[in-house]
């Protein structure tokens, strides 16, 4: 199994630009999670999906952030417009059961907003 796949691995953009992060969960997993990691705040859950449906988006910082999961094998996290304080490593994770199984993390996308 290839594990959770994220792209791009690194993204550098200018303030105000739209950023789209992509994730392919492990095949057969039906829960998908987006996390943000910073030195100051550690690992924070932004949103998670179960069977492609958003279940908890209470961690999404503000309306500039949006996430979609159009099918079981693909999800996007979009930031529009981006700001320097969005600079962080964004992880996608997936699990088999509805939040009760082990979460497997992808390699992350390091985002830098100038």
Please report whether residue 1 would count as binding another protein according to CB under 8 A. no
Cβ distance to another protein smaller for residue 45 or 72 = 45
Q: Can you tell me whether residue 104 is helix, strand or coil?
A: strand
- Where in 54-73 is the site for another protein (CB under 8 A)? 56
Task: Choose, by CB under 8 A, the member of 77, 79, 93, 111 that binds another protein.
Answer: 93
CB of 81 to another protein, least distance (A): 27
Sorted by sequence, the CB contacts under 8 Å of residue 63 that are 6+ apart come out as none
Instruction: Pick the closest to residue 73 from 92, 98, 100 (CA basis).
Output: 92
Are residues 83 and 64 in contact, defined by beta-carbon separation less than 8 angstroms? Answer: yes
Please give the residue ranges that form the binding site for another protein (CB under 8 A): 4, 33, 42-43, 45, 48, 56, 91, 93, 98-100, 102-108
């Amino acid at each position: 199994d290839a594990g959770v796949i994220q792209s791009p691995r690194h993204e550098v953009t200018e303030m105000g630009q739209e950023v789209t992060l992509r994730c392919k969960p492990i095949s057969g997993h039906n829960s998908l999670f987006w996390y943000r990691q910073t030195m100051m705040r550690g690992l924070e859950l932004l949103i998670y999906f179960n069977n492609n449906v958003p279940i908890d988006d209470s961690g999404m910082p503000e309306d500039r952030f949006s996430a979609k999961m159009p099918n079981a094998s693909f999800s996007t996290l979009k930031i529009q417009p981006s700001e320097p304080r969005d600079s962080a490593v964004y992880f996608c994770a997936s699990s088999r059961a509805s939040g009760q199984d082990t979460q497997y993390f992808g390699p992350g996308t390091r985002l830098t907003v100038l």
